[in-house]
Amino acid sequence: MIIENSNMPMKVWVQNLTSTIVLVCSIAAFYTIPFFYKPVFGVITRTQLIIMLFVIYLIIMLIPIVLKYQYVHFSNENNSITIKYYNLGFSPGAKRTIQFPIKEFHGFEVKKSFFNLHENLFIFRKMKKGIANYPPISVTGLSPIQKTKLIKALSNPIMR
């Protein structure tokens, strides 16, 4: 079974591109359209509008970073578990891969954090010297259906 959120990198990229274009066009409009030369509604100046727009832009750009969105590719075919993942956001991180035989799989755990907005998957593997755990993999970017499929695949008795 293969589970991946291949649409998430494109979604984050389009979101960042769109918000950048809106910011640049808005700033250009604020400086070229005479309506914005005097305070809007008699209160908000052009500079204040630009600052507010820039704050909104920063929030939009920081959402994937704060929620730690990751591209995740899970496969349990060919008697091995393979998980490929990397960070999404303003500057994508290094691509990482976890791969080991299914017979060495010991278990998993999903933990929520940051007001239950962020979910981490912890994978445990049987080794000769005991149980090893891998660094957390963020599954926040997976859809609820994909998360359910991933948990079912990892909970399968064949995996133990």
Domain boundaries, the chain: 1-160
Check residue 19 and give its pLDDT. 95
Report the pLDDT value the prediction gives residue 160, as an integer from 0 to 100: 57
* Residue 38: φ, ψ to 5°: -110, 160
Task: Summarize pLDDT for 79-92 with one digit per residue, the tens.
Answer: 999 999 999 877 76
Q: Which residues, including other chains, have CB under 8 Å from residue 20's CB and lie 6 or more apart?
A: 57
Tens digit of each residue's pLDDT (9 = 90 or more) over 122-140: 999 999 999 999 999 999 9
pLDDT digits (tens, 9 = 90+) for 68-124: 899 999 999 889 999 999 998 777 678 999 999 999 999 999 999 988 889 999 999
